Structure 1
Amino acid sequence: MIEFHNVTAYQQHTRVLEDFSLHIGAGEKVAILGPNGAGKSTLLKLIGRELYPVERAGSHLRLFGNETVNLWALRRQIGFVSQDLQEDYTPYTQAIDVVVSGFFGAIGAHDHMQPSDEQLQQARKLLATVEMQGHEHTMFQRLSTGQKRRLLLARALVHEPRALILDEPANGLDMGASLGMLRLLRNFCGQDHAMIITTHHIDEIIPEIERVVLLDQGRIVADGPKREVLSSAALSDLYQTELHITEQDGWYRCWHA
């Protein structure tokens, strides 16, 4: 589904990735874990074509087997949820219009957006799916952070994408909202659905995620099955502090050892 091969990428004048390689197959559920500044958000911006890698021989970034991607087709295959998108949203947009905007690849409501009855029906269904059915006409600015994040999840699902990509999905949420978001993500994880989340909190890694990639300063320092990668030693090295990791029913927790 996604293939980075010897990719180099910059954010403004800072080189974030160099000779970076990572393959993620169709239907895989992957968590990319690392401290702030590790390169997680840059990775997602490359996938979403908000950012482009340096063009050079022997380097490529392929999505669904293609180096050249039609952005409209990409939006139909991958749903994105990020804090940047949340912050960019027009504050006076009604909740139903936030979801509908996903059909048009827009941020906010615009005059050219004339949704069909079928699209409106699907948007209302998705509001119910993310437990926001009572807020159809509530302005975006009046919603809590957790409600905004659920609304963006509904927006990401309008095209019934093959994959969801989420940048720190529970960041900034209180305990109840965080657990609610993680429950919704678990509901998405069917056999054919792929999911990629970036986070620096291991308690955001839902049990359905099978593979974990540890990222530090633009380099992969570990990549493999969750039960092998999420070790006390590996995470202590990653975060430069002594940590103790435990697992129960597929959920992982850590604390200072």
Structure 2
Amino acid sequence: MLTPTPYLELEAVEVWLGPRRVFDDLSLQLHLGEHTVILGPNGSGKSSLIKLLSRELYPVVRPGSRLRIFGSETVNLWQLRGRIGLVSQDLQAGYVGRVPAADVVLSGFFGSVGIGRSQQPTLPQRQRVAELMEQLGLADLVERPYAQLSDGQRRRLLLARALVHNPEVLVLDEPTNGLDLQAKHQLLAILRQLAQSGTTLLLVTHQIEAILPEISRAVLLNQGRVVNDGPAAALLQDAPLSALFDTPLKVCTANGYRQVVPA
């Protein structure tokens, strides 16, 4: 049996966000080919974990502490953007209303928000954008200003942006937040196809209903600590979730998805 390849290794990591310590002595490994959910209540450190992976946050340098991404402690951001795609609420809020939809996707090649005058997309890049917009049901929105799009359309645009480099890992920060039922189900269906086609998914959420059937591992995070880590089938149950969210919950399942109701 092959040893799984880690794309993120945290060892005894301490992280501060301004005056607040987010993580103290956090250790965690995430592996290629293992679809994982990071689940926890608001304020548990989920977004900070994503920012460690995207290099927006850095841990305190101290003996015995280590952060490796794809096996290296030294990360080239341009290379990293080609291997890890990100869909986040912060990114969605960063685009101004007049940006054409196609430029949102194109900007993924440059790691920018929109396309500046100095950036000259190539023909292959434009062809890749057209392919992704067709694949995600966005082909008729190429020239539509960002402000005129629904939240569901914006989320799919950001997904297309994250996929321009065909990344090995796709990080999804609360991907279904604010979406109506149709948009949510459309997005989840696309994410399932990506999971089944070989893209490693890292889903970061507090919403149980957003957890895809393909997710095999659950990391339960609370107050900057991993309180449980193991098979999703074992941890996405009444007792672990009730303890995580500090409220009595009952898990109901249908078609591989889960919902929670008050116990």
Distance across 1 between alignment mates of 2:95 and 2:34: 30
Q: Deviations over 1:162-217 (max 9, x none)?
A: 01001000011111111111111111114642110111111100011100111000
Indicate the residue corresponding to 1:175 in structure 2. 181
Matched, 1:54 2:60: yes
TM-score by length of 1: 0.98
Q: Does structure 2 conserve the Cα–Cα contact (< 8 Å) formed by 1:28 and 1:193?
A: no
1:189 is paired with a residue whose SS is helix
Match of 1:126 among 132, 135, 145: 132
Matched, 1:96 2:102: yes
Counterpart residue type for residue 18 of structure 1: D
Distance across 2 between alignment mates of 1:193 and 1:95: 24
Match of 1:230 among 225, 231, 236: 236
Indicate the residue corresponding to 1:187 in structure 2. 193
Counterpart residue type for residue 185 of structure 2: L
Matches within 5 A, 1:76-87: 76-87=82-93
Distance across 2 between alignment mates of 1:183 and 1:54: 39
1:251 to partner: Cα distance:
1.0
Q: Deviations over 1:205-231 (max 9, x none)?
A: 001110011100001111111110011
Indicate the residue corresponding to 1:199 in structure 2. 205
Indicate the residue corresponding to 2:111 in structure 1. 105
Indicate the residue corresponding to 1:150 in structure 2. 156
Indicate the residue corresponding to 1:42 in structure 2. 48
Distance across 2 between alignment mates of 1:141 and 1:55: 42
Q: Does structure 2 conserve the Cα–Cα contact (< 8 Å) formed by 1:26 and 1:192?
A: no
Q: Does structure 2 conserve the Cα–Cα contact (< 8 Å) formed by 1:236 and 1:242?
A: yes
Q: Does structure 2 conserve the Cα–Cα contact (< 8 Å) formed by 1:122 and 1:158?
A: yes
Moved more, 181-190 or 215-224: 181-190
Q: Does structure 2 conserve the Cα–Cα contact (< 8 Å) formed by 1:214 and 1:221?
A: yes
Counterpart residue type for residue 174 of structure 1: D
Matched, 1:72 2:72: no
Counterpart residue type for residue 253 of structure 1: Q
Segments of 4+ in structure 1 off by > 3 A?
none
Of all paired residues, the percent bearing the same amino acid is 47
Indicate the residue corresponding to 1:7 in structure 2. 13
Counterpart residue type for residue 214 of structure 1: L
Counterpart residue type for residue 188 of structure 2: L
Indicate the residue corresponding to 1:241 in structure 2. 247
Distance across 2 between alignment mates of 1:41 and 1:155: 20
- 5+ residue gaps, structure 1, are none
Indicate the residue corresponding to 2:147 in structure 1. 141
1:112 to partner: Cα distance:
1.4
